[in-house]
Structure 1
Amino acid sequence: MLSTLSRKMLMCLTGLFLSFFLLIHFLGNLQLFLPQEQAHLQFNAYSHFLSGNIVIKIVSYVLYTSIILHAIDGLIITLKNKKTGGQYKTDRRGRASKWYSRNMGILGTLLLIFLVIHFQNFWYVYKFGSPPLDNNGNKDLYILVVTVFKEWWYVIIYVISMAVLCYHLIHGIYSAIRTLGLYHPKFVKWFKTIGIAYSVIISIGFAIMPIYIFFTAN
């Protein structure tokens, strides 16, 4: 059985890896903002490269493992906090803490539900479905993305989920800093500012993508 400290460290490391992956995923998806014809072929070529690269495949297994461990660990920590009456009940920090820091379990659950939907719509269809091929013979993930983002209800779900992600990241990165022992008066303000900036930029950037495609593709 893992100790509380070990669980926090596991949560910290998997969370930081997932945050780094989000950045890479975000940079790759910026190709969706290119002129439509260029975005179509370039995004599919990029996706084909990722799916056939052995290093990327190994990283993807680490990603899947990190998501599962992060979710399970978060669930266990949340249940333990509820069982003990909550961490804020004993030290009376509840009123001073942010609402999202007290509801990380709910935010994490909403993100997990979104991930299941997201994986089903894109990853599963791309890997195990029969998507059409583009003019270069690559699986047409771009058309799949455009087709999904033409649905207004999915765009709304996506944007709301990115708002949830933003708050989850803000608290998660801040907690990771403390878990790693970087909570030094001289640097904590800078780390916190960078963490908030990263969370906002990544979340808004991802949220703009489906909105952009919805209005340009319809």
Structure 2
Amino acid sequence: MKWSAFFTSSVGKKLVMAFTGLFLISFLIVHAGINACIWADLVDDSDNGEMFNKAAHFMGSSYVIRIMEIGLFIGILAHIVQGYMLELQNRARRKQGYQVAMGSKGSAWYRKSMGLLGTLILLFLIIHINNFWVPSRITYASTLGEVTYNNGAPIHDLYTRMLVVFSEPWEVILYIAACFSLAWHLLHGFQSSFRTIGVYNKKYVAMAKGAGVAFSIIISVVFALMPISIYFGWVNNN
């Protein structure tokens, strides 16, 4: 079988979804870790976004990270395209329906709604990129201020940008809704990725399911707490 035929087959599409999904999961861990830096002022009143700005600056100035960023966008695009192709393929198969009513034995709603959940996350991602990635990578100082720490070189003040964005109630609600969609998307996608790459042992499948539930909840709560903390003044309350 040709490689092109393999990657357009059902198995090939699922493998692309699995590997890109796992890659994006690793990105979420890194992203959540950087976001968590906004809470540094809970233990150091003088931080005022310094740790977050330095972490964000490192991610934007490191050549290795910038190269990985290209891979990230390719991974996101591949995940989206293959996801929609699989969704269309599954919808075509479901047109005939079941001869016997499945009742409550059918798949969980979030498994059957991966396309919808993914679309909601995509719409959020477009707004998120416009809020933060575009100012920090393209428009620069025209939309971002700069700050200097310890007489060093000026760096982008993304922390203040966050304070401005999350002062708007609709932005906070949007982010919380996106985190809700992300949680359900991950709940199925996490363990499904491991099944696709060949994890069938009952013990490891159970571990993957348990880890998937924990990861889905923790990562989504961490992301949701970021705009909530800023909006309600739990951070930067100096």
| CA distance in structure 2 between the aligned counterparts of 1:64 and 1:93, rounded to whole angstroms | 39
Q: In the alignment, what sits opposite 1:132?
A: 145
- Correspondence list, 1:62-211, <5 A: 62-85=71-94, 89=98, 95-96=104-105, 97-129=107-139, 130=142, 131-136=144-149, 137-211=154-228
Question: Which one-letter code corresponds to 1:5 in the other structure?
Answer: V
| CA distance in structure 2 between the aligned counterparts of 1:93 and 1:186, rounded to whole angstroms | 27
| CA distance in structure 2 between the aligned counterparts of 1:3 and 1:45, rounded to whole angstroms | 44
SS in 1 for 2:147: coil
Gaps of 5+ in 1: none
Task: Indicate if the aligned counterparts of 1:11 and 1:74 stay in contact, CA closer than 8 A.
Answer: yes
Percent of residue pairs identical: 38
| CA distance in structure 2 between the aligned counterparts of 1:76 and 1:60, rounded to whole angstroms | 24
The 1:8–1:198 alpha-carbon spacing in structure 2 relative to 1, beyond 3 Å, is: same
Question: Which one-letter code corresponds to 2:148 in the other structure?
Answer: N
| CA distance in structure 2 between the aligned counterparts of 1:51 and 1:139, rounded to whole angstroms | 10
SS in 1 for 2:231: helix
Q: In the alignment, what sits opposite 2:26?
A: 20
Mark the structure with the bigger radius of gyration.
2
Residues 161-201 of structure 1: CA distance to partner in whole angstroms, max 9, x if unpaired?
Answer: 10100000010012112101112112211210111101100
SS in 1 for 2:232: helix
| CA distance in structure 2 between the aligned counterparts of 1:178 and 1:90, rounded to whole angstroms | 27
How far is 1:88 from its partner?
Answer: 7.5
Task: Indicate if the aligned counterparts of 1:18 and 1:63 stay in contact, CA closer than 8 A.
Answer: yes
| CA distance in structure 1 between the aligned counterparts of 2:96 and 2:187, rounded to whole angstroms | 19
| CA distance in structure 2 between the aligned counterparts of 1:144 and 1:78, rounded to whole angstroms | 36
How far is 1:84 from its partner?
Answer: 1.9
| CA distance in structure 1 between the aligned counterparts of 2:119 and 2:99, rounded to whole angstroms | 25
Runs (4 or more) in structure 1 with deviation over 2 Å come to 86-96
SS in 2 for 1:73: helix
Gaps of 5+ in 2: none
Query: Could you say what the CA RMSD is over the residues aligned between the two structures, in angstroms?
Result: 2.0
Q: In the alignment, what sits opposite 1:48?
A: 57
Structure 1 stretch 164-173 or stretch 32-41: which is displaced more? Answer: 32-41
Q: What TM-score, normalized by structure 2, do the two folds share?
A: 0.86
The 1:159–1:196 alpha-carbon spacing in structure 2 relative to 1, beyond 3 Å, is: same
Structure 1 stretch 181-190 or stretch 107-116: which is displaced more? Answer: 181-190
Task: Indicate if the aligned counterparts of 2:146 and 2:157 stay in contact, CA closer than 8 A.
Answer: yes
Aligned length: 218
| CA distance in structure 1 between the aligned counterparts of 2:46 and 2:200, rounded to whole angstroms | 48
Task: Indicate if the aligned counterparts of 2:13 and 2:82 stay in contact, CA closer than 8 A.
Answer: yes
| CA distance in structure 2 between the aligned counterparts of 1:110 and 1:48, rounded to whole angstroms | 29
Q: What TM-score, normalized by structure 1, do the two folds share?
A: 0.93
The 1:101–1:91 alpha-carbon spacing in structure 2 relative to 1, beyond 3 Å, is: farther
